[in-house]
Structure 1
Amino acid sequence: MKREDLQLYFIMGTSNVPHHEQSIYILEKALQAGITMFQFREKGPHVLTGLAYEQFARQCQKRCHQYSVPFIVNDDVELAMRLGADGVHIGQDDLPVGVARKRIGNMILGVSVHSQDELQTAINHQADYVGIGPIFATSSKSDAQPPCGTSFLQQARYLHPELPIVAIGGINCTNAHAVFQAGADGIAVISAICQSEDIEHTVSTFKSLCRINK
């Protein structure tokens, strides 16, 4: 994985879009516009299950491969291995980091962290990148922790200058500048793209902000 892959990390599942059938269209538009990584995250109310769940994941993966964008699966290690995904992202309530690393081998491993101890554990088990947040208040995850601002992000960057870090949580075109200034290699967004009326413009704006702060 290259650090620049984290620059604009799009996360999506069917519960994040107004109408389920729009999901692939939104992903296609985001890929065309230039997202740099995609995470398949099918969680929340009224999610797909069984065969429909896997078929949707495969559709997303196919689109990502067409644009040479890494395809990451949230939490579901078994699905990621069946699909031959590029990687897995886990949170603190999912599979333990060490277990996940052993099971996925050399796949990309991303880990959500909220403290120095969690950060060190992720590093100890060779996480390829960490996700820090929610930076700002978010409505995309019903179980999200309270917003933490950029202080922990700044600490993590200072202590681990070579560690790839992506920030997540309530990030939009107005506040992304502060996140990049705090040391993030990239930003992970859900609603900023899923609810955008002009995905191409939104993606272009985010990527411009990243370039300005490099």
Structure 2
Amino acid sequence: MPYPDRFYPVVDSVAWVRRLAGLGVGTIQLRAKDLTHAQAVAMIREALAAAGNAKLVVNDYWQAAIDAGAQHLHLGQEDLVEADIDAVRKAGLTLGLSTHDEAELDVAMCHDPDYIALGPIYPTTLKAMRFGPQGLERIAQWKQSIGLTPLVAIGGITLERAPGVYAAGADSIAVVSDVTQNTDPDARVRAWLALEISPFVPAQAGTQL
């Protein structure tokens, strides 16, 4: 299977990790905030056990990820400034990095990441963003720039918007509210997984996405 999987939910609790893994999700990001190092280590260890065969990606807490025995890490640009990337690589963790503009992309690519994330693609109310919506055209530009490095699109993406996002060049879609705030999360996840394994036809030049 590719890393990350084409459907890449981002959640904030062990309960969500367990639920998603039970539904067959292949890659899950754990993004919890305001934890002490000890709390982060404990939570990551619990999440790793809950994830089973799913790939658990730890957001932000790079030292806790190493100490807890995680295999995958995601860092934002602010986290990247403070992280010891040499230690992360020495511990054998994969590394995904967030980007929002060309300068951040240049910085991220210097670290030879395992994937690049771009967002927000659409407007999102989950957190205050310094950057406006990137749009589908930006996905195509980023993919051309990074070549074979996997590209993860994030921000305001729903199941209905997913085909256009994939067609624009995204290898993977990170999803938050379309799952966690859905009235029937399990059914929504199953629909995402069904879409994940469906064939995608790239948009033709001039096609409205």
TM-score range, shorter chain: 0.7 to 0.9
1:116 matched to 2:84? The reply is: no
SS in 2 for 1:150: helix
1:164 matched to 2:163? The reply is: no
Distance 1:6 1:115 in 2: 24
Q: Aligned to 1:28, which of 14, 18, 39?
A: 18
Pairs aligned (count): 198
Q: Which runs of 4+ in 1 moved over 6 A?
A: none
Q: What residue identity is the alignment partner of 2:125?
A: S
SS in 2 for 1:85: coil
SS in 2 for 1:153: helix
**Alignment map for 1:11-22 (pairs within 5 Å):** 11-13=10-12
Distance 1:180 1:123 in 2: 22
1:78 matched to 2:63? The reply is: yes
- Residue number in structure 1 paired with 2:204: none
**Alignment map for 1:134-153 (pairs within 5 Å):** 134-143=120-129, 145-153=131-139
Q: How does the TM-score come out when normalised to structure 1?
A: 0.82
Aligned-pair Cα RMSD in Å:
2.2
Greater CA drift, 109-118 or 196-205: 196-205
Q: 1:4 to 1:49 in 2, by over 3 A?
A: closer
Instruction: Give the deviation of 1:144 after TM superposition.
Output: 5.7
Q: Which has the higher contact order (CA 8 A, sep 6+)?
A: 1
Structure 2: segments with no counterpart, 5+ residues: 202-209
Structure 1 residues 145-201: Cα deviation after superposition (integer angstroms, max 9, x where no partner): 321112221112123331101110011112112111111111111112212232332
Instruction: Give the deviation of 1:125 after TM superposition.
Output: 1.4
Q: 1:70 to 1:183 in 2, by over 3 A?
A: same
Q: What residue identity is the alignment partner of 2:43?
A: F
Distance 2:76 2:55 in 1: 19
Structure 1 residues 2-53: Cα deviation after superposition (integer angstroms, max 9, x where no partner): 635331112111xxxxxxxxx433322211222221222112xxx5546444
Percent identity of paired positions between Structure 1 and Structure 2: 30
Distance 2:37 2:86 in 1: 26
The answer to whether the 8 A contact 2:40-2:61 is kept is: no
- Residue number in structure 2 paired with 1:42: 32
Structure 1: segments with no counterpart, 5+ residues: 14-22
Distance 2:23 2:96 in 1: 24
The answer to whether the 8 A contact 1:75-1:88 is kept is: yes
